Amino acid sequence: MNNETAGKSGKKILLAEDDPDVREMLALALRYAGHVVTLAENGKEALKLCSANSYDLIITDILMPKQDGFKVIRKLKKKQRDIPIIAISGGGVSGSLDFLEKAKRYGACCIFEKPFEPKFFVERVNEHF
């Protein structure tokens, strides 16, 4: 599948998620809703894509290799304070809610604890446009 596919609405979304199944499932749901989705496998790749492109919305997992979602949020908010960022997490040793609350303090406008219903997720994404 292409990394980026044009949608009806033309809204550009960057999705950073290290789990390939979750990444593809969310990308499919967002593309079906008409969005243009670019995929990143980790935080480092997400930041590289953000430095070369502009996006209307960033979705980032918190626990990822190479750069975690906390660093992604902090660095993007320093450059572009008004960019909406949605944080998602399945947790770890201390639980996903702790990570997600920390992501909100760093500037995420919305948080989702995995697993979640893709339809509800897309509805929340659409609220930002």
**Measured distance CA(95)–CA(72) in Å, rounded:** 20
Lowest mean pLDDT among 24-33, 48-57, 71-80, 93-102: 93-102
The rounded mean pLDDT for the chain is: 89
CATH number of 12-117: 3.40.50.2300
pLDDT of residue 7: 46
pLDDT digits (tens, 9 = 90+) for 93-119: 555 568 899 999 999 999 999 889 999
Residue 10 has pLDDT above 80, yes or no: no
**Sequence-separated contacts (24+) of 71-78 with Cβ below 8 Å:** 71/43, 71/47, 72/16, 72/43, 72/46, 72/47, 73/103, 73/106, 73/107, 73/108, 74/106, 74/107, 75/47, 76/47, 76/50, 76/107, 77/106, 77/107
* Bigger pLDDT: 102 vs 128: 102
> What one-letter code names the amino acid at 85?
I
**Measured distance CA(69)–CA(8) in Å, rounded:** 28
> What one-letter code names the amino acid at 123?
E
Under 8 Å CB-to-CB from 44, ≥6 apart: which residues?
A: 66, 67
Lowest mean pLDDT among 4-18, 34-48, 56-70, 101-115: 4-18
Residue 1 has pLDDT above 70, yes or no: no
pLDDT digits (tens, 9 = 90+) for 19-43: 999 999 999 999 999 999 999 999 9
What residue has token string 């496998």?
41
